[in-house]
Amino acid sequence: MAFGRLERTKGAEPMSDINVTPLVDVMLVLVVIFILTAPLLASSIRLQLPRAEGAQGGTPEHAVSLAVDAAGQVYLDEAPVDAATLAQRLRQIANQRPDTEVQLRADRSVPYGRVVEVMDAAQAAGLTRMGFVAQPSTQK
Q: At what angle do helices 112-125 and 83-96 cross, to 10 degrees?
A: 40
The pTM for the full model equals: 0.58
Q: What is the mean pLDDT of the chain?
A: 81
Please give the residue range of the domain that contains residue 115.
61-136
35, pLDDT greater than 60? yes
CATH of the domain at 122: 3.30.420.270
Low-confidence winner among 2-6, 71-75, 115-119 (lowest mean pLDDT): 2-6
Assess if residue 53 is contained within a domain: no
Cα end-to-end span (Å), the chain:
99
Assess if residue 15 is contained within a domain: no
Q: What is the pLDDT of residue 75?
A: 92
Q: How far is CA 80 from CA 66, 76, 115, in A?
A: 10, 6, 15
pLDDT digits (tens, 9 = 90+) for 53-80: 655 556 667 888 899 988 889 999 888 9
22, pLDDT greater than 70? yes
Of 43, 98, 95, the residue nearest 67 (C-alpha):
43
Assess if residue 129 is contained within a domain: yes
Assess if residue 79 is contained within a domain: yes
Of residues 120 and 12, more confidence is placed in: 120
Low-confidence winner among 33-42, 45-54, 59-68, 105-114 (lowest mean pLDDT): 45-54
Q: Count of domains in the chain?
A: 1
Low-confidence winner among 3-7, 26-30, 83-87, 102-106 (lowest mean pLDDT): 3-7
Residues 64 and 101: beta-carbon distance below 8 Å: yes
Residues 45 and 78: beta-carbon distance below 8 Å: yes
| Mean pLDDT within 31-50 | 73
